[in-house]
Amino acid sequence: MEFFWLLLIAGVVVLLQALVLGRRSLRQIDYERKLSRSHCHVGDDIEMIEIIQNKRRIPVPWLRLESILPAGFQFGHQAETAISEGTLYQNHTSLFSLSAQTRITRTHQITCRQRGVFHMDSALMSAGDVFGLARANRPLRIETRMTVYPAYTAIDDMPEAYRSWQGEVEVRRWTNEDPFLITGVREYSSGDPMNQIHWKATARTGQLQVYRQGYSADPEVMILFNIEINEQMWRVVTEPMVAEYGLSCCATIAADLIGKGMKAGFGHNAIIATEDEQDARILPAYGSEQLSTLLQCMAEVQLKSRQPFHEFLQSFVPQSSQENEPIHKMDILIVTPHVSQPIKQAITILEQAGSTVSILNVPDIEQLKKSHWNQSVYDKPSRKVSG
């Protein structure tokens, strides 16, 4: 009889603890996740901070936290965390206990290995009683966004053509005529546009005179990136490393130009999140805010072609709404893995319209695999972590 009562009391205790510690175990349990930075470059280290607080006066025997995070985030070792990695995502599972009225902070060291805009806005929290008779689950909505810009490339790792182009831009920086800066008049020369004739000076001297223009110290450079790896590529990029290196070059060029006080813009023919094609081009402007805008645009580039690059180039052919209206011209730098015949034809049209066009060829996959850039940025080994 005594054994029966002992079993009965034990059963009641087990049921009570299941009721108190099981189904109600997630009440007054708060969870918060934040990142040390909202944006960084590929290869940078950041911290993900998790704060879990038990506001109850009753401990939580076990608590499991599951999160789906981007595969491009390389986590440092955490003893209580098991990580299962896939191609696009990795599943993080943590298991621990919480004492009564306890607040714990967990800091994860992360290396960002992949460019892009990442949303980490969900997690699942589970808890239960000591014997696993009852449990509670709570999905968590967490607004966490991380933007990873392309890595900057060392100037020595840039294609040789960039250094030559760099010197040419520096020379043209002080030799480009500025149509809005008038310093005087001069005699008419063959090829001068008729809208530059200074009629009062012509009447006074009896010979055709035109405005003498000053020189622009700030050429406007438009960086145009071709997502197509080769002429046969249909839609999806088959060699992501080539495209990522091209975007890395674009980021380096933009930072270099803006750092020297020049205007820089960016455009591409890749798929974008919005349907507005104008979001795929940022016109040249000055300053650190402009650089942030350009890097954001580069981070959003998806590895799929939106339209053939030669068609994209044709949209930059200067247009004039009036016959005598001066056409706005820019320096155009094309960053591309290949130059097809249609691209050459589009470049010729741009040059005939008065734009200065230069080409920066992106190395092929075999060259990149042997390069220092490959070893230092995108070829870091993935660390498998098990708990």
The span from the first CA to the last CA of the chain, in angstroms, equals: 46
> Which DSSP letter does residue 305 get?
B
- Mean pLDDT along residues 305-334: 74
Q: pLDDT band for 38, please (50, 70, 90 cuts).
A: very high
Q: Tokens at residue 264, please?
A: 């820089």
The strands making up 145-149's β-sheet, listed across from edge to edge, are 39-41, 145-149, 116-119
Q: What is the pLDDT of residue 77?
A: 72
Q: How far apart are the C-alpha atoms of 25 and 58, rounded to whole Å?
A: 9
Q: What does the pLDDT look like over 345-368, one tens digit per residue?
A: 999 999 888 888 999 999 988 888
What angle is formed at CA 148 by the lines to CA 384 and CA 298, rounded to 5 degrees? Answer: 135
Q: pLDDT band for 198, please (50, 70, 90 cuts).
A: confident
- Mean pLDDT along residues 39-48: 94
Q: Tokens at residue 101, please?
A: 């009225």
pLDDT at 250 over 50: yes
Q: Would the CATH topology of 2-149 be identical to that of 155-174+217-316+327-378?
A: no
Q: What is the pLDDT of residue 322?
A: 38
- Mean pLDDT lowest among 60-74, 77-91, 166-180: 166-180
Q: What is the pLDDT of residue 85?
A: 77
pLDDT at 44 over 80: yes
Of the CATH numbers 1.10.287, 2.40.50, 3.40.50, 2.70.70, which one belongs to the domain with range 155-174+217-316+327-378? 3.40.50
CA 367 to centroid of chain Cα atoms: 24
Q: How far apart are the C-alpha atoms of 338 and 310, rounded to whole Å?
A: 12
Q: How far apart are the C-alpha atoms of 90 and 83, rounded to whole Å?
A: 7
Closest C-alpha among 121, 156, 166 to residue 140 = 121
Q: What is the pLDDT of residue 87?
A: 77
Q: What is the pLDDT of residue 86?
A: 75
Q: What is the pLDDT of residue 57?
A: 85
Q: Which of 94-103, 132-141, 243-252 has the highest mean pLDDT?
A: 243-252
Q: Tokens at residue 310, please?
A: 């030669």
Q: How far apart are the C-alpha atoms of 308 and 269, rounded to whole Å?
A: 7
Q: pLDDT band for 321, please (50, 70, 90 cuts).
A: very low
Q: Where are the domains of the chain?
A: 2-149, 155-174+217-316+327-378, 182-216
Q: How far apart are the C-alpha atoms of 125 and 53, rounded to whole Å?
A: 13
Q: What is the pLDDT of residue 156?
A: 77
Q: pLDDT band for 233, please (50, 70, 90 cuts).
A: confident
Q: Tokens at residue 304, please?
A: 């799929």
pLDDT at 117 over 90: yes
Contact (CB, 8 A) for 309 and 347:
no
Q: What does the pLDDT look like over 291-312, one tens digit per residue?
A: 999 999 999 999 999 999 999 9
At the topology level, CATH places domain 2-149 in: Immunoglobulin-like (2.60.40)
